[in-house]
Structure 1
């Protein structure tokens, strides 16, 4: 449950450092937080230590601006992150922002193709693409593009779209009608700008908000789908010929949250990781986290770190 993961990232370090917490979940996903509140009650957590406040944006703004709040940790859109930063500017409040992303998953010709395909699928289609660090841009070395795409399309043909509570489901429902409309709009823009759209043959449920796993090929750096965060199961594919070109294309984005590198050469991994402007760089894997390691972004992906000792510092009065 991804909302619960986000909840744990916020609440655990705050409590570990002796703080009380006010949590405002997203207005479209409050049930997980309320379920957690009941767990706190069953665990006999003292009243007032963990507080869950539900509501829309106005509720979140009231919490952020309250004079008794000393630290704000936010995961969400870059737009809302800017509003929060303006609110706390000039105050003594500490702030951690984990915002949008447009991560590059970079595959070289010497990579293990089948392993890379699994990493690509996990990187963009996990949680329906509703992940800030989702690998929404695939940069593949030109000489293996056809082989990789053929393997990727075969793999997408096996994905199950349906009930997210069914353990056999690979791609569940889109978060809301509003988010589905955004995904559809950006996908239509992608086609209008000249990219080629492909989705596997799959039957979508009649009720609910659904979008099939989608790949765009023939994508240029200037295309909207290569620059804007779609926050859905949509992958944009670009090609490169040299490591330097891969770095240039990967960094050509206002975001900088994560990146992935797929190659058998350790020296290339280290060189690439040093050049990529991303808070987290994975090597021959994607979306794998170590709680002891700090996580955060550059540029419009936010600032501050969560996880590890770095993530605890913001909750200490030092």
Structure 2
């Protein structure tokens, strides 16, 4: 089924195979197991479960095991034992890298099935998953596999008659809490550098999207990753996530999600064992388009910035479900009117529908809560006096589809400009000078990303150095690579994913000092 961007419905038969759901339990210590919490209930022969929903229809896909504090305890015990007594941290980096390479080969081998799982669980376009998400996940594994045997410290030139050097050692047991918008990519963004460093871990996938994470646990076992090194516990943030954040035997938490939940994670970590925390949080990223830009190119970049997650490449692009979504677009006054006309035409012709349909440009929002949140912000925009240029409505009677929505006549104090909506809602604003553009771009509590569209290198350099954000894209957007550090400023969090900076998040530095010869130090 394909649904026109304007809201009219056009039905087509789509031929595809829904994958068999093979893995629905928890993966602890190398085995798929039921949740232990369900056995506490009278007459229960199975552990506690919850339903994962198909956002294309709003219907149940399957019930999966629901992990709770007791299950997290079991997973942590397995990871702790694997770290303290197992062979993974004691293998050479080369050996770890070889196993990770085999893991990557298995991911490649199952690309079609994994992309289909993310399509039915997260509403991601099947074509995008096969082309981008799953291959990028495998390549992230390969990137860190190549780094695993290159982890080394430094020799220190000391000021006294001492010899010193540093060792880089795995931080220990890691808890990864990942969101639902990129279930495969973010699984490996977290897991890959931690594996390369020699850590053991527990992964809690988002409750909306557990299916691909469980499949990856199965592939990890086939690749030869020892039992207890990689554990996957499905569950909800307020139970499983909270148990991880406060657990005394977890040495580090890596969290990607909202700023609000990030605060809770950080507080729990501080109040337990002061575990190391890295947070990749929300964003309200600006895209600044200058008068000298090619208008057609600028329109494509702006649409890519807001619509990429559930679409392939320009002109197929994301339904706003990305922390880096370019949801604030500032256009210089000389081309503003022309830009508005062209972006309205493209947005009105956007094809929204079933992510298995290869013609579709945008799939559904991930679940009913997100669907209703996005629609409520559209209403806030209209209430606050913004002009609805395109979209603004839900599409169809089943599933969680929303038209690409663009507002004009927007002011900086409106909630659609200040708050992270996480949906296909774009605020379009005009500016006169470079100084004004910089001031408006920085007028946010977030600082994750920004885009600049200009042919003037001087302007690009000046603005990129003036915006307080972790990554700046010039004449492109969402150009993410395994080698490019990714993380924010301000309330967008701290700590980097990707690049060697991410590897060092999972390593401790130990200094070793000894006298050069018999000396008063002895």
Scaled by the length of structure 1, the TM-score of the pair is 0.96
1:86 to 239, 250, 267: 267
Deviation track 1:250-298 (CA, whole Å, cap 9, x = no partner) reads 0001100000000000111110011001100000000011211211101
- Distance across 1 between alignment mates of 2:397 and 2:193: 41
| Residue 108 (1) aligns with residue 308 (2) | no
Per the alignment, in what secondary structure is the counterpart of residue 68 of structure 1?
A: coil
Per the alignment, in what secondary structure is the counterpart of residue 140 of structure 1?
A: strand
2:475 to 271, 275, 284: 284
* 1:39–1:166 Cα change, 3 Å: farther
Other-structure match for 1:142: 333
- Distance across 1 between alignment mates of 2:183 and 2:464: 29
| Residue 273 (1) aligns with residue 464 (2) | yes
Equivalent residue runs for 1:53-202 within 5 Å: 53-57=233-237, 58-89=239-270, 91-127=273-309, 128-199=319-390
Other-structure match for 1:7: 187
CA contact (8 A) 1:126 1:170 kept: no
- Distance across 2 between alignment mates of 1:146 and 1:47: 60
Equivalent residue runs for 1:221-236 within 5 Å: 221-236=412-427
- Distance across 2 between alignment mates of 1:35 and 1:238: 44
Show structure 1 runs of 5+ residues with no match. none
Deviation track 1:148-207 (CA, whole Å, cap 9, x = no partner) reads 111111222332101123333211111111111111111101100000113359993431
Other-structure match for 1:220: 411
* 1:33–1:207 Cα change, 3 Å: same
CA contact (8 A) 1:162 1:205 kept: no
Scaled by the length of structure 2, the TM-score of the pair is 0.59
CA contact (8 A) 1:71 1:314 kept: no
CA RMSD of aligned residues (A): 1.6
Structure number, greater radius of gyration: 2
Equivalent residue runs for 1:252-263 within 5 Å: 252-263=443-454
Per the alignment, in what secondary structure is the counterpart of residue 406 of structure 2?
A: strand
CA contact (8 A) 1:174 1:210 kept: yes
- Distance across 2 between alignment mates of 1:136 and 1:280: 15
- Distance across 2 between alignment mates of 1:168 and 1:36: 28
Shift of 1:38: 2.3
| Residue 30 (1) aligns with residue 210 (2) | yes
Show structure 2 runs of 5+ residues with no match. 1-132, 134-181, 310-318, 510-522
1:209 to 394, 397, 400: 400
Per the alignment, in what secondary structure is the counterpart of residue 35 of structure 1?
A: helix
- Distance across 1 between alignment mates of 2:367 and 2:393: 20
CA contact (8 A) 1:196 1:216 kept: yes
Range that drifts further, 85-94 or 209-218: 85-94
Shift of 1:41: 2.9
Range that drifts further, 114-123 or 156-165: 156-165
Per the alignment, in what secondary structure is the counterpart of residue 11 of structure 1?
A: helix
